[in-house]
Amino acid sequence: MTDINVTCIGGGHGLGNLLEVINDFNSVNLSGIVSTTDNGGSTGRLRESCDTISWGDIRYCLSKLSKAVTNKEPSTKALLFEYRFNNVGDLSGHSLGNLMFCAVDSLCIRPTETVQVMREYLGITANILPMSDAVTHLVSHCAEHSYIGEIEVDEHANQGIKKLVLTPKVKPSKEVLDTLKNADILFLGPGSFYTSTLPSLLMDAVIDIINQNTKLKIYFITNVEDEFNNQIISDNNSKHDEIYYQLEFIKNLGLTKTVHSLIPSHRVSASIELCKPYTIANLPGDSTGRHKQPFYRDQLLELIQRA
């Protein structure tokens, strides 16, 4: 069987869990393109002091993938990577992994190379890439206000976002574009729609290369539960089904290729026909509100095997 090139776009816990599941599949070349706009916590503090991209989501993805290297048991390297300082002055709240990223980044030319060094340190084979090597902020434009920074965007997302942009505008790396050019399958999500799924898609070159890839199949993995309690407000102050709204938002970014949705059976709404094409599956949530394995694994494997 010919290897299938699977690329996943997202950030945070949703992308990390997705990568961990797919990493176990045979005959899959796995890549993850990670959002780098987070400005909260340890990551946010380091962004301000070191003028660097956000490392937190990348760190989490590498941490999840490191389990595969040691048969699901965290190694000493992985434990150090995830260690968080407490009650030690200015270091309090910082993840050792984030500090390691900053240290290595000072020795490398680009953040993409820094991530490669950390992948090798942890023995990870999946290709993990920051969405861009340049520092940028997420900005949302709502009906009456604009919000700068991922934290602010997230906190006010239920107001209804008319436009989402990166400031300053940045470009993806050659590695990101090459990965998307060669991808057979692209998974978008799951996770926070505005702050995890969308940031990478806000770069024109990413949209262009996706549209140009004629063999590419795109799947939008919807969350286990509604992110905004199904109360997203549109331009005319009407309320829309969340999944349909999200698909339209993605399309309005310039994506012309068909997006196939993976929807949990308990989230099927009256407007489901507007979301075609889709796959409805038994995808319950776990105690943390994420897709429960092995249901998640079986459904992802089925989608990949269709390629």
Does pLDDT of 6 surpass 60?
A: yes
Q: State yes or no: pLDDT of 118 exceeds 80.
A: yes
Over pLDDT 90: what percentage of the chain? 74
Amino acid letter, 231: Q
Triad 297, 221, 264: Cα angle to 5°? 75
Give the type of residue at 255: L
Confidence tier at 262 by pLDDT (50, 70, 90): very high
Q: For the domain that residue 244 is a member of, what is the CATH number?
A: 3.40.50.10680
Angle between helices 12-22 and 56-69 (to 10 degrees): 20
Helix (H) or strand (E) holding 43: helix 41-50
Q: Average the pLDDT over 31-49 and give the result.
A: 91
Of 37-41, 190-194, 226-230, least confident by mean pLDDT is: 226-230
As a whole number of angstroms, the distance between CA 205 and CA 183 comes to 15
Residue type, 185: I
Contacts of 96 (CB under 8 A, 6+ apart): 80, 81, 82, 83, 84, 85
Specify the pTM.
0.94
pLDDT for the residue numbered 238? 43
CB atoms within 10 A of CB 27: 10
Report how many domains make up the chain.
1
- Give me 118's structure tokens: 């950390």
Residues facing residue 210 across a β-bridge: none
Backbone phi, then psi, for 299, in 5-degree steps? -70, -40
What are residue 30's phi and psi, to 5 degrees? -100, 135
Our separate counts of H helices and E strands in the chain read 11, 12
Domain extent, residue 160, equals 4-305
In a 3-state reduction of DSSP, which class is residue 287?
Answer: coil
What end-to-end distance do the CA atoms of the chain give, in Å? 12
Whether the pLDDT of residue 235 is over 60: the answer is: no
What single-letter DSSP state applies at residue 292?
A: P
Alpha-carbon span 198 to 152, nearest angstrom: 15
Q: Compute the mean pLDDT over every residue in the chain, rounded to the nearest whole number.
A: 91
| Residue 166 binned pLDDT confidence (cut-offs 50, 70, 90) | very high
In angstroms, the Cα distances linking 68 to 6, 11, 15 are 17, 19, 16
Tokens representing 249 are 């938002």
**How much is the pLDDT for 30?**
98
Kindly give the interhelix angle for 56-69 and 111-122, rounded to the nearest 10 degrees: 30
